[in-house]
Amino acid sequence: MMRHFIRKQPRFIPWVLSFFLLIIAPNSIKAAPVYLRIESQFQSGHYTRSLLVNRTKKVQVQRWFQVETKDKNLGWISEDQLLNALKLCSQARLLESVPLRSERDLDILPKSQITKDSIVSILEIRGSWAQVRTAPPLSKTGWLLSESLNAVLPPPDAALDNQKVFIPRNTTLYAQTVRQGKIVEHVSTAGLGTVLRTFAAKDPKGWLEVRTQGGARGFLLRNEVITASDLGKTGAHALNDLTALRSAPLPYSHLSRHIHHAHPLKIIGSQTLRWGLARLSESGEVWWPITNEASDIEREIAHRESISTNDLFRRKIFDMASSPAIPSLKFVSAQGVFRTIDGKEWTKIPVFQDKNYPIAIAGLGSIFVGPFVSDDHGETFQQWIRWDTLVASMKRIRHVSPKQLQIQEIRPEDPAGRRVVLKLSVGTEALIKLVTDDQGRSWRPL
């Protein structure tokens, strides 16, 4: 899709003044994505960091692991999407002295302190927290951050009875130790199970009797499950198919690839990300990732690439637009989104990476690039499409997932850019048109 540069009369503020404001606009105002839950896959908008800091009422943590794939690619996966030995072990050793808390909350006063090298029993792991029980005679129960625990692996020759195992998707449970026997269940979702009995457990073709998390009980072969001993200290697997492998320990960092749960991974390192729970008047409670703005990650994201007009137009142009408020301010989508203020040199906007997006500019200057909008001439962008709200409105007419949606066209219908018509494709189906009168807070089909 390609559109000619749009040239309209500027609004009543002289464009020279607007151009001056563009030049001096501070680039230190950064926006952060917000999520309805820490484990959410899709963002629900962007807000300035200063606003989120002021509205934050609670802080939570999420651990990320740097992993290496079998073909030597590196990337990051969050702990709630990764299977490691800790999630399959019944015991762990404390790497440091840490407080034991009654809930999974940093703000809760500790019940007691557990000393380094203590052995605890693991009762449950949720997110980046582990519920544990200390050794007798005290036998206290509480929550610890999983980063303070080192899994105690069972001996190599230990029986698998009562051990946790990971059962991949599409595994078949039989009523007897015969592959042609009656089927108890086809496992449709990968998850944990417990071994009830073993039959020649050292033989990869030996049978195990297991109970799944859903309560189903049946028999399968030893080589169809993953144990803590299989993983060892550094082994790992993705918990689900199409798990995102990212370039940095941030939910909005570059997507390197998707990982299948059957692909073995090696853990290289880990890092803990802090999340803030902010209460916003227009969106309610949302989570946002707290990062150090001076970190290497932010510097990588903030890197700016420049290109000449001649080099830019050698690329395949996807879309382009010129600002009605500042005619010299133009944007082009061509294997990335570029901006110019002089028509000679174009600066790449790093948040869009190398992707193409449709571009539209409202009469008063709001710049729409795919699901993002800028009200400061393209200096910073915030997400204006709340995918959760948009998908909810579309489900009234058909079942859709955000993964299927592609924005084909954006058409602002008022100068302020509040009323916007959006044209979407849903997989291979026909295009769908939606309209919003409040810049993405609510939607209705056309």
Are 84 and 125 in contact by the 8 Å Cβ rule? The answer is no
Residues 308 and 373 in one domain: yes
- Looking at residue 93, what is its pLDDT? 96
Residues 307 and 370 in one domain: yes
Residue 8 in domain: no
Residue 128 in domain: yes
Residue 156 in domain: no
- The model's pTM is 0.61
Helix (H) or strand (E) holding 226: none
Residues 223 and 248 in one domain: no
In three-state secondary structure terms, 391 is helix
Residues 262 and 317 in one domain: no
Residues 100 and 67 in one domain: no
Boundary (domain end) residue, out of 343, 367, 383: 383
Q: How many domains does one find in the chain?
A: 5
Boundary (domain end) residue, out of 383, 415, 433: 383
**Residue range of the domain that includes 329:** 15-29+299-383
Phi-psi map region of 215: left, alpha, beta (phi>0 left; psi -120 to 50 alpha): left
CATH number of the domain bearing residue 181? 2.30.30
Residues 398 and 345 in one domain: no
What count of other Cβ atoms lies within 10 Å of the Cβ of residue 228? Answer: 25
Candidates 209, 236, 233, 232; CA nearest to 220 is 209
What count of other Cβ atoms lies within 10 Å of the Cβ of residue 91? Answer: 15
Helix (H) or strand (E) holding 20: helix 15-24
- Looking at residue 24, what is its pLDDT? 31
Residue 4 in domain: no
Only one residue has tokens 């026909």, namely 430
What count of other Cβ atoms lies within 10 Å of the Cβ of residue 295? Answer: 12
Residues 111 and 138 in one domain: yes
Residue 157 in domain: no
Residue 143 in domain: yes
Provide the H-helix boundaries in 29-178.
49-55
Question: How far is it, in rounded angstroms, from Cα 84 to Cα 219?
Answer: 24
Residue 110 in domain: yes
- Looking at residue 63, what is its pLDDT? 93
List the chain pLDDT tens, one digit each, 446 residues.
334 333 333 333 333 333 332 333 333 346 788 888 887 767 788 888 888 888 888 888 899 999 999 988 899 999 999 999 999 999 999 999 999 999 988 877 787 889 999 999 999 999 899 999 999 888 899 999 999 999 999 987 788 999 999 998 889 999 988 887 889 888 888 889 999 999 865 666 789 999 998 899 999 999 899 999 999 999 999 988 888 898 888 887 777 888 888 889 999 999 888 899 999 887 789 999 886 543 444 444 444 578 888 888 888 999 999 988 788 899 999 989 999 988 888 988 887 888 899 999 999 889 999 988 888 788 778 788 877 778 777 766 566 665 667 889 999 999 989 999 999 887 666 678 889 998 888 888 87
Residues 304 and 379 in one domain: yes
Residues 175 and 248 in one domain: no
